[in-house]
Each structure stands twice: as C-alpha cells, then as structure tokens.
Structure 1
Amino acid sequence: MLRAGVELLNAANGVRPLAREGYLTIPVFAFGWPTSEMSPLYLAGSMLDAARRGLRGDFRGGRGRLALLLNAVTWALLYLIHHRNVSSQPHFEDPLREALGPEYPAISEAARADRRRLVGVWPHDLIRRRYVEKAGTVRYGPHPSVNHADIWRRADLPRDGKAPVLLQIPGGAWAIGMRRPQAYPLLSHLAEHGWVCVSIDYRVSPRHSWPDHIVDVKRALAWIKENIADYGGDPDFVAVSGGSAGGHLTSLVALTADDPQYQPGFEDADTSVVAAVPVYGRYDWVSARGSGRREFIAFLQRLVVKKPITSNRQIYADASPLYRVRPDAPPFFILHGQDDSIIPVPEGREFAEALQEVSTGPVVYAEIPHAQHAFDFYYGSPRAHYTAQAIEEFLSWVQGLRQAARHESAQRNSAAR
C-alpha cells in the first residue's frame, strides 16, 4: 500500500508540480523531473513490479485490491504524461513559424549541409564519444582546473570547412557548471547536422564569485573566435545556448558583446554572437517580487555575488539580462516550461516581452505546456528531441539569412563593376 501511494504521489507530481513556492520546489523538481520526461520507463518498471507482486499474492484482500487500484491510477497518469510529452511538438514549431514567417523552413533547409540523423537512444557517455575525439578536449583559459571544453564534431567534417558553431553553456545554479552530461541531445543533433559545438566548464560558486562565471564564458567565446577554424568551424558564425544558469549566461553574453567590464585582460577580443538560445533561464537578479524571488536573491547574496544587494544594486542590475535588452540584440529564441518549479515561467515571459519591445531583430518565445525545468536533458525524451530540432531550425534560419545577404551583396558588387 505504501509503495503504491508513493508511486501515485510521484506520478501526480509529474503531471503537475506539487509545490511552486519556497525551498520545497527543489525536491518537487528532483522527483518530478525524470518522471515528467521519462514516464515510459517508470510505467514499465511499475507494471513489471506489479506483475511480480501479483504472482506473489500481494493484491489479495481489501488492502491489496486498493493498492492495485492506486497502481492503475498511477499508470494512467504516467500515460497522460507521456502523451502530453509526445504531443508537444507544435509548441516548439508554431512560435518559430509565427515569428519568422511561413517561409522559415525553406530558409533553414537551404542552410543545411547534411541531413543525416542520429537514430536510437544512446547512453550519455557513448553519445559524447561518438562526436568528441580524444584531442577534442581543450583548455580555453588560464584556469587549468576548470577552463576546459569539449569540441563536438562529426569525424568526417572537413578540417578546412566553415561549419556553423555553437557555444553551449551548462547550467547548475552558478555552482556546478559541468559540461558533462548537459545538452547531449542538442549537441549530438547539431553535430550530426554538420555543426561544430563547444561545450564548456567555467568557474563556479561558492569557490568563485561573480563575475568570474561570465568572464570565463567570454574567454571561451574569444578562444572560439581565434581557434575554431582549426576544427572546421566558422569563426564568423558562432551562436550560443544554455539552460538554467546557462540560459542566464547565454543571454548576458549575447547582450554584452565586447563589454570590457566582463573582459579583464582581453578587452579587445571579439565576443559577439550571431544568435542566442536561452532555455529556462534566470533573467532578473534584482526584483524580489514573485514566486521564489526572495529565496533566489538570498542565494545570490550568500553564495554567488557574496555582496548585499542593498549596497551593490548596480552589480546585480548589470548581471541581469532583463536590464540589458538593447535594439541591436542578436536574434533570440527563448524557451521555457510552463510547469517549471525552479524558475517559474513568468521569468521567461517577462524577458521575452522586454526584448521584443526593444530589439529590432527577431525574438521568438516558446512556452512549453506541462514542461518542468531541464525538460531538454534526457536523451530519448520527446521534448529533448523537439528542443534540439527547434533550436537547429532557428539557428539554420539565421545562417540562411546571413548566407542570402552575402549572396545579394556579392551580386550587387559584381553588377557595379
């Protein structure tokens, strides 16, 4: 009976987070996250266990029948979770079509060099080994213990080519920042489509303090601009993406190109990007209003910035992408889950609206129904696949527009001669 009750509670938490306020959201996320993305595994395991217990006679009597009923309700909820997950693809595609126009798939297609796809569910480490050569792990900065990066590329990609490049910034509350095993569905999808991807580690708290995190990200970006051609990448087409804390850093690096404040010792380095894709990020380090905001600001003061906001408000404002929106921002594709219990969805909405109001470039916002935090993590999750597919579509669209603009410019120059 207890086991059946726990399974039902876990499934209900996967359907809808049981808490959205305070520190209780952390265990709610920890248990609900895998359930909401990998429910078929939970369903299969629960049914096999029920069959085993049934053969043992555990479902005899009133309590046993009640436990079986609870199991049946759990299975129905797990099926509902999977159905919603599988059916979520339009929520990734429709915002792109609405913001970029109905012709965007054709523009994206024109930019693709290859249509090979990775098939099947691979263990995370095998995915990385498929695309990251032994010589593909590099050091990009002066801090040898943390300034490491994996370079994802197909083995048959020409070294003298000009493949589009993605800088992937891991999340982890500015306190973990491990590149492995984050964003593997996205990295493998892009690598299979002929991209070169650079997944980085960076200095994290509490050992290090803000702004060390963003300084390292910019160092990595500067390294890419100087060295990625050796790996077949195009230094003139570098996009950036990341989730959670990585989503915050993605947005900030895209909105602070060449800002000397975050480039000590390499102020002249080019740190611009052609596009940014933040996923379920934090965009406001100032406001204490809203769900979980007070706890978040307290966390920043205690472990990340390590300075009180009352006397250092400008530091927090400068670190907030929400207060950095600008007319010349690069194209943005912002994704957020409606059921995010770690970073509530109003954070994504507010940032998208602020950027759309100011930026002269495209700003796409996709809000994914029923999606928890980190909905793109698990390889084999439909949402992870849809996320990777949508990001590749968006970035290929950006690349296609740039290619078309260069072609038109070349034609005009030729006609003028």
Structure 2
Amino acid sequence: MPVGYLISVGLAAIGVLFALRPVPFSRPLGRPSYYFGLAANELPFAAFFWLLLLPTALAFTEGDIDSVGAWAIVGLAAVTTPGLAVIAHRALGDRARIEHAMAEGLGAGWRAAIDADLAERLGRRLPLARILFLPILKRRPDVRRVANLAYGDAGRRNLLDLYHYRSRPQGAPVMIHLHGGHYSGGHKNSQSLPLLYRLASQGWVCISANYRLRPGAQHPDHLIDLKKVIAWVREHAHEYGADPTTLWVAGSSAGGHMAGLAALTQNDPAFQPGFENADTSVTGAIYLNGWYGPYFGQGPESSPLAHITADRRSSWRTATWTRWCPWRTPGTSPTSYAVPRPTRLSTQSCAAATTPSTSTTRSASRRSSTRSRASPPGSDHESGRPSPSGTAPGRMEAGRILLESVRVSGGWVGR
C-alpha cells in the first residue's frame, strides 16, 4: 500500500469532513476539527491539487495502484473531491455577498463613485497558477516590517509590529489591527498578514499589536492596551511617514470587539488610566467577524452596543435604516475623505463605522448584526462552523475593499 499517497488523501478527506461537518469547539475533537477543517475550507483548490490530483497522478505513474488497498485510497480520493467542490462553491459566493453588502451599505453606485483604476483592480481575480502555488501572499518586497516596538510596560504583550512602504511616503493613513483568539490567545504576526502587507504596499502604515490576554487580564485591560497603541501612533507614527489624523482600528473576532469599543469610547478617561489626556480618537472601526455582545460574563457595559448613548442613537438609526451613502452629502466624497460627521459602512463580512476625531461616535453595527445567543467573543467561528459572513479570505477581501474604497486626499491609497 502506498503510504505517502494514503497520508495525502487521508489529510484531504479529514479536512473536508470537518469543514462540512465540524465538531463543536467545546467537545474533545473540537480544536482538531477546527484546524483540519480550516485548511480545506480556506484553500479548497490548493488542497485538491496538492493532496488529491497530484498524488493520485504520481501513484498511477509509479505503478503503486496495484492492490485492493491502493484502489480503496483512489476511491477515497474520488469521494473527497465532490466535498472540496462544495467547499469551493461556497467560497466563490463570497464575492457576490460582499458586492451585495457594499451596495446595501453604500448605494448601488458605489463603484462609480471611486477611482476608475481602483474599481477595475477590485474586479480582478487571481490567476489559476497563483491560486495553486501561492494562494496567500503574506510578504511583499516593497514593504518593510519594523518588529517588536514597545508601546506599554507589559513586556511582550505590549509590543507591536509596524508595516510601511519602503520609500516611506509622507501623509500615509494608518490602520491598527488586533488579532482574535477568544481574548486568551493569538499573536500580532499570526493573523491578517495578507491584508496588512497589501495595504502597506499601497502606502498605508499598518500596525499589528499584541495585547494582554485572559486569564491574567480582564476587560477593560485589553481595551486600555489598544488605547495605548492609538496614543503611541499619535506620538510616533510620523517617524514612519504616517499621518495619524486618518487612523482606522480593525480586528478579528475578539479584536473586532475591541476595535468597536475603541471607536465608541474614544478619549474616555475611564479607559485611559495614566494617560487621560492622550488623543485616542479614531477615524473608524472595521469588524472582521467581530463580536458585539458582552465580555465573558460581565455586564452589558462591556459590549460595544452599550456605548451607543442617547445622543448618538437617533443618528445611528438614521445611518442604519436610510443606508446613508457618505458621498451623497457635499464634502463627504471618498475622493476627498473630508468627513464632517460620522458615517456607517457595513458588509456581511465586516462592519465599519467612520467617526471624525472631533465629534461624537456612532455605532459600528446595527442591531441585526448582534448575535442573540450569549456566547463570548470568538465562540461561534472558533467552533469550526462556517461563518455566515463567508470564509476568512472573504472577510479579508471585505476589509480590503472597505479601506481601498476610501481614497485619501493627498495620500497613497489606490496608487
């Protein structure tokens, strides 16, 4: 029996099984199910080529299919292939879902309102060779990573990495990204790297930061760390060509929860102990599969939605239900990026709220985006169930479109 062929097909079969029928994260097989299913769910074309098609071709070429056991492996490969097709079909639907959500949030003519070259690039698809051989481009030669810059006094949990275009153009907008991980795991250089490198290659200054984790830290410790990152950016980012007057916060899962809180509590001294006078205002927040409910058994005040105060609620509802398009109002074109009042952008894959630094903030989500069940940040997608928002590449694409769709005046987006 060809052992190498068995291992390849077996890995593909297990990945497909767990991608289509994931085990709840709370059960013993939950974590292996998540990681095995993740590979097949996110890279179905590469999995088909490298784990099924190529090994099968090699096995036949080398004459290894000469026993009942070998033919059984071929049969397993044949059964696994339709499962990968289902996963691929599911992933291909992300583009349509993102398009629908962008049109719902920004208006049907949003593509016509942005730079024509940018609109054309947003419609490009990766070539097949790139999908098979280099599906995720994490590093780019035109981007420099400055690692392990300290922004606080909590050791390695208060370090950040900064990504900037090598020529260091001046006036670059800033995006801060916070990793997910149930507030108990994760690292600054483990998530959303394609997004960070992509934006940095287009002139953004991107930051990915560690923060204190459970159980040693609790809410609002994580939020305080993010506020320290924002304050650090205000003080030091100009050294890398950044203009922190345009500063977005983004996060995945727990990081999205934190980003929403930061957008809705900017300059609140209650969350800035020891640096109460620091400017922690942000332009907006982007949720990548974020959580909008309360923090691990704490009260509703630990939810971003709790910080939608009475004076903000009517404007938030207007932005939500009228689907107000920011560039329909004079002075709020994405070409100039002059935003005199808060706006709300949303997609099914992520939600974003833009908030001017000198005005009150508004919600980064609508009520219908809030999960009804009382589960902590990350508990849904970390269970291994496919997110209704689509796959992780879909969420990254949504975040990229949201940021690239906003052309910064005098900046470098969409070069």
TM-score, normalisation: structure 1: 0.69
Which residue in 2 is equivalent to 1:102? 108
- Give the match's secondary structure for 2:46: helix
Aligned twin of 1:379: none
Corresponding residue for 1:320? 303
3-state secondary structure, aligned to 1:164: strand
Distance 1:166 1:5, change over 3 A: closer
**In the TM superposition, what are the counterparts of 1:204-215 in structure 2 within 5 Å?**
204-215=213-224
After TM superposition, give the deviation of residue 97 of structure 1 in Å: 1.7
- Report the Cα offset of residue 202 of structure 1: 1.1
Opposite residue 41 of structure 1, the aligned amino acid is A
Q: Does 1:395 align with 2:399?
A: no
After the TM superposition, which residues 254-333 of structure 1 pair with which residues of structure 2 at under 5 Å, given as runs? 254-285=263-294, 300=296, 309=297, 313-314=298-299, 317-326=300-309, 327=312, 331-333=344-346
2-structure distance, mates of 1:126, 1:392:
14
Structure 1 residues 57 and 126: alpha-carbon distance in aligned structure 2, compared to 1, 3 A threshold: closer
Deviation for aligned residue 1:320:
1.4
More helix by share: 1
Are positions 1:85 and 2:96 aligned together?
no
| 1:202-281 correspondence to structure 2 within 5 Å | 202-281=211-290
Contact 1:59–1:68 under 8 Å retained in 2:
no
* 2:51 is the alignment partner of 1:45: yes
Q: Secondary structure at the match of 2:191?
A: coil
Structure 1 moving runs of 4+ over 6 Å: 115-119, 121-126
Secondary structure at 2:98 match in 1: helix
Which amino acid is 1:80 matched to? V
Unaligned runs of 5+ in 1: 287-299, 301-308, 338-350, 358-366, 377-383, 404-417
Query: Which letter maps to 1:321?
Result: P
Q: Secondary structure of the equivalent of 1:80?
A: helix
| TM-score (norm: length of structure 2) | 0.69
> Are 1:155 and 2:160 an aligned pair?
no
CA distance in 2, matches of 1:396, 1:131: 17
* CA distance in structure 1 between the partners assigned to 2:115 and 2:248 by the alignment: 18
CA contact (8 A) 1:141 1:147 kept: yes
Deviation at 1:56, TM superposition (A): 4.8
Contact between 2:293 and 2:304, CA under 8 Å: does it hold in 1?
Answer: yes
1:414 alignment partner in structure 2? none
Match of 1:11 in 2: 16
Question: Partner amino acid for 1:391?
Answer: G
How far the C-alpha of 1:46 sits from its partner, in A, is 2.5
Distance 2:55 2:64 in 1: 12
Matched-pair identity in %:
29
Provide the secondary structure at the position in 1 that maps to 2:139. helix
Q: 1:372 to 1:12 in 2, by over 3 A?
A: farther
- Cα gap change, 1:110/1:194 in structure 2, threshold over 3 Å: closer, same or farther? farther
Q: Distance in 1 between matches of 2:137 and 2:117?
A: 30
Distance 1:210 1:98, change over 3 A: closer
Amino acid at match of 1:31: F
* Change in 2 beyond 3 A, CA 1:180/1:21: closer
* Residues 125 and 52 (structure 1), Cα distance of their counterparts in 2 relative to 1, 3 Å cut: closer
What amino acid is aligned across from residue 55 of structure 2 in structure 1?
Answer: D
Q: Is the 8 A contact 2:11 2:51 kept in 1?
A: no
Q: How many residues align?
A: 339
Residues 152, 158 of structure 2: 8 Å contact kept: yes
Report the CA distance between 1:175 and its aligned residue: 1.7
Aligned match of 2:329: none
Distance 1:144 1:13, change over 3 A: closer
How far apart are residue 141 of structure 1 and its match? 1.8
Contact 2:44–2:84 under 8 Å retained in 1? yes
Do structure 1's residue 34 and structure 2's residue 14 form an aligned pair? Answer: no
Q: Cα–Cα, structure 1 residues 105 and 187, in superposed 2: closer, same or farther, change >3 Å?
A: same
State the Cα distance separating 1:9 from its structure 2 match.
Answer: 4.3
Quote the offset at 1:66 in angstroms. 4.3
Which of 366, 371, 375 pairs up with 1:353? 366
What runs of 5+ residues in structure 2 fail to find an aligned partner?
Answer: 317-341, 351-363, 371-380, 411-415
Aligned-partner Cα distance in 1 for 2:349–2:110 = 22
Q: For residues 320-362 of structure 1, what are the alpha-carbon distances to aligned partners after superposition, in whole Å with 9 as ceiling and x for unaligned?
A: 123333536753545549xxxxxxxxxxxxx9431789xxxxx
Q: 1:21 to 1:390 in 2, by over 3 A?
A: closer
Pick aligned residue for 1:69 from 66, 75, 87: 75
Contact (CA 8 Å) 2:349, 2:395: kept in 1 or not? no
User: How far apart in 1 are the matches of 2:159 and 2:255?
Assistant: 16
Tell me: CA distance 1:33–1:59, structure 2 relative to 1, closer, same or farther (3 Å): farther
**8 Å Cα contact 1:276/1:333 also seen in 2:** no
**Cα distance per residue 1:76-119 (max 9 Å; x no partner):** 2223323432442121122112211133234442897xx89999
Q: Closer, same or farther in 2 for the Cα pair 1:204/1:221, shift >3 Å? A: same
CA distance in 1, matches of 2:138, 2:369: 40
